[in-house]
Amino acid sequence: MNIAHALQTAKAQGLDHLEAQTLLLLCCGQALADRAWLLLHDTDLLDTEQISRFNDLVQRRLHHEPLAYLTGWQAFHDLRLQVDERVLVPRSDTETLVDWALALELPQHAHVLDLGTGSGAIALALKQARPNWTVSAVDASAAALEVAQANAHRLNLAVTWLQGDWLQPVSGVFDLVVSNPPYIAEADPHLPALQAEPRQALVSGADGLDAIRQIVSQTPFCLTAGGWLLLEHGFNQAVAMRTLLTQAGFVQVQSRNDLAGIQRCTGGQWPEVK
């Protein structure tokens, strides 16, 4: 089997052509973005090991395993993050949350907290963009924190990592709290397509808002006056999010759209002391 035939076979099974190219480049030991190499070598024969590995990766992808798990990497906000089945794959939608956080008028040496950090994507992106910020990050999963810490070490970014349930391990006050918590409802029909990713990072009660309610109720106790809480949420949860924040006493409550024009993040400011 040569390279051209391998790509044709994967396409015939229903795999996206660009994803098939990425997996074949991985099997051939080439840079994952070097698609021109495949064109120049389309008649090259694959050895038995390469064919077996490619077929295995194709089947795993067809069974909804994230491409990032297969390659081991995911791009996020100018970072290259290592990911695997211990963490949720960072999505481009979450960059909306990071961009909003970076646009806020915060102290030069702001203290920032990321809840449910997973791979460390949000915390590390903020620390890279604002080196003077003191960034802490929490996750309930020790396995997820291993991934986040490895990413921080490789990127040489200093973040304090804490294990626990949301704000339970946290002390002190913060100028900004950010989170991409689980927000999918238990009966959501899209869940089967996400079965390879950690369920605890995706699902949160009957309406998907259990974790968000907990964060909104607890965060005021660790925010400075004038501090902000920014949360990512589902495509149809913005109205409920604004209601929760307003009822909890936040002001300047507002939402931000992702690149698709969907209200993806909602946040508010804790009132200044008068």
Enumerate the domain spans of the chain: 3-63, 83-269
Mean pLDDT of 239-253: 97
Least confident of 26-35, 52-61, 75-84, 186-195: 186-195
Give the mean pLDDT of the chain: 95
Segments of the chain assigned E as strands: 73-76, 79-82, 111-115, 134-139, 160-163, 174-179, 223-232, 251-257, 263-269
pLDDT given at position 189: 86
Segment 147-203, tens digit of pLDDT: 999 999 999 999 999 999 999 999 999 999 999 999 998 888 888 888 889 888 989
Mean pLDDT of 226-242: 96
20, burial (CB in 10 Å: exposed 0-12, middle 13-18, buried 19+): buried
**CATH superfamily of domain region 83-269:** Vaccinia Virus protein VP39 (3.40.50.150)
Query: What is d(CA 252, CA 245) in angstroms, rounded to the nearest whole number?
Result: 10
